[in-house]
Amino acid sequence: MDLIKGLSLSPNALKVLEKRYLKKNEEGKVVETPESLFRRVAKSVAEADMLYGKSETEVKEIEEQFYRMITSLEFLPNSPTLMNAGRRLGQLSACFVIPVEDSMESIFDAVKSTAIIHKSGGGTGFSFSRLRPMGDIVGSTKGISSGPVSFMTVFDTATEAVKQGGTRRGANMGILRIDHPDIISFITCKDDNTKFNNFNISVALTDGFMNAVEEDLSYNLINPRTKKVTNTLRAREVFNLIVEHAWKNGEPGIVFIDRVDASNPTPNIGHIESTNPCGEQPLLPYESCNLGSINLAKMVKADTAGIDWDKLRDIIWKAVHFLDNVIDVNKYPLSKIEEMTKANRKIGLGLMGWADMLIQIGIPYNSDRAVIIAEEVMEYIQREGKVASEALAEERGVFPNYKGSIYDGKIRLRNATVTTIAPTGTLSIIAGCSSGIEPLFAVSFVRTVMEGTKLIEINPYFEKVAKERGFWSRDLMERIADRGSVQDFDEVPADVKAVFVTAHDITPLEHITMQAAFQKFIDNAVSKTVNFPHNATPKDVEEVYLLAYKLGCKGVTVYRDGSREDQVLTRGKKTDAQKAVDSWQKIVPRKRPDVIKGSTRFTKTGCGNLYVTINEDEEGHLFELFTSMGKAGGCAASQLEAIGRLVSLAFRSNIEPDEVIKQLKGISCHSPIWHEGGKILSCSDAIAKALEKYNTKGKKGNGDSGKVVMLMGACPECGGAVERESGCLVCHNCGFTKCG
């Protein structure tokens, strides 16, 4: 795809746009250019001004302003707006919160709403705190409640089924109050890494609980149905359990729910109990929010290396106008969501390219000066954003729920909230800048392109400095790409090392201090990941949590390097966990004993009758798989033999059967067939389903599923590098993000 004149997009930005954003025909062929995508978005959003008396000429000028703002990559709206504006679906919001009340009807209404939202490209957040605890009585049947964690499984399964049409994966936030009787089972619900993979989970911590932690007191668990105390726990023990699990695998996160609700702009309408999937957008039930990010990398004066405040102000005003228009042109998935969204008109103007801005002005990310500048920049965006919203209110009127809001009688605003810092995983790839307020992912790293070709990607600012200062060499760039960081290379001058720091060069306390600096001047919240080295201790996580509470953060997401089996090893020195992966990769398959037992299952396929024999060892672990096709010989039989050999090799190497099933299940061929009430898509699919039925007989798998072993070494879509940032998994190679 050719670069558009005046539109500077990197090859990787073009690849992400083609894969995820540009319109395709029924054959899957791209039928839109980046230029026409941006024109489509600008035109659609500008048309909202027709509702407020603007002429066609004026609307055309507004369209041009929006178009220039987007094509210059100075501002980009959230992904659903880029994908859907001006198209039939027309759903432009990134995030929603759906209420879950304590009744079967409400629970399954919420499941239905979730499926509709995910299909439209949005993510959802829920508070399960209103559900009666496990073991509590069910009034209608006198039965026993299964509790909120059990019902979360229903939401997780529904999300897995929808898959959002392949453009955005379903993402959920599940929140439970710290005083719910089922809080312990909630904290530990993701101990099994195969469960709740479509959920981020966070515990809603109250001020009372945090005070009890500080003073080492007990606190009460309260049944939400009866409002009666059911138990008393020692606050520090529960807090330590949260810390240990976050240290182990990054979850649960924490949300300081009293602080969040205290900044609720419309307390007369309801209480805030949940957030969107990445935690930066607290919302009332049935609210949605429309997000967009200013690219701070573009807000630096080239001649003086200073911040261009006038340019920043211009983009802020245009962005607020744009996001308010989105509310009007949006096609909402549910009428209740449209009603609530238009009543409060919340927008979330955020930023990306923060690390790039600091590099351009020569300020180290982990410095006191950077924290001061962060406060100055965010205070400016907040102040000008509110002034822009005030100007819109004069022209269009205040948001309908203004009366009784925290602004009533103080300032007349068009939007109940104006600022949010959201993840910008794919947006920052399109814009060619650093993500959100995160530090650099890496100074240099290896990117996988077509047919497995590997290219070294070098930060353009670093490459420029290296050439100007005379220390650039291909060998140095390759060695830096192997590590990501420049800190251990003597060729790099000390002042350059200070400025070009990466996420893992920065201490956790410096991460949280930066988050707190931005939070001071944000209506909603901040999505950011606090990175820990692999050798960090639970005590280190505890210190960050306590500091976050002290500094005024609304929530925290932490991640200890190498603590999750789905992390990709892409840069830096090898940690102990990485060495464990190396040793895992060198495992020699177990030898076959003389006698082995198993069973054979018959199934029909489009190629003929298939017999699948599954054998296990003395301890009940799956060991090998043989296949026999009713039709002797031919390509099908040879392919089946190959599959059987590879599956057997996997079993003998202690790969969990579920992982094998996951790879084979769903593969389709030209001859699907129905068998035993289900559809057999192919021979591979038949083998997976035979394994699935065998493996549900109480088998314990092939390894120690309690061990944290990083089995997944690549992005599930392209095999490239995945990094955990802004509370999300992001592939910098293809734009894949687990959080939608």
User: What amino acid positions are annotated as catalytic residues?
Assistant: 276, 278, 280
Q: What are the φ/ψ torsions at residue 510 (nearest 5 degrees)? A: -70, -35
| Contact by Cβ (8 Å): 718, 448 | yes
In sequence order, the β-bridge partners of residue 175 are: 127, 202
Reduced to 3 states, what is the DSSP secondary structure of residue 522? coil
Q: How far apart are alpha carbons 561 and 637 in whole angstroms?
A: 44
Please state whether 213 falls in left (phi above 0), alpha (psi between -120 and 50) or beta: alpha
- For residue 49, the tally of other CB atoms under 10 A from its CB is 22
Please give the distance of CA 373 from its chain centroid, rounded to a whole number. Answer: 27
- Single out the residue of 734, 740, 591 nearest to residue 653, CA to CA: 591
| Contact by Cβ (8 Å): 138, 176 | no
| Contact by Cβ (8 Å): 614, 599 | yes
Question: Rounded to the nearest 5 degrees, what angle is found at the Cα of 410, between the Cα atoms of 404 and 415?
Answer: 65
Q: How far apart are alpha carbons 503 and 629 in whole angstroms?
A: 53
Work out whether strand 274-275 and strand 282-283 pair parallel, antiparallel, or are unpaired.
antiparallel
- Single out the residue of 253, 219, 261 nearest to residue 236, CA to CA: 219
- For residue 113, the tally of other CB atoms under 10 A from its CB is 20
Residues 284-300 as b or e (16 or more Cβ within 10 Å = b): bbbbbbbbbbbbbbbbb
CB hemisphere CA count around 615 (13 angstroms): 18
Q: How far apart are alpha carbons 737 and 740 in whole angstroms?
A: 6
- For residue 455, the tally of other CB atoms under 10 A from its CB is 13
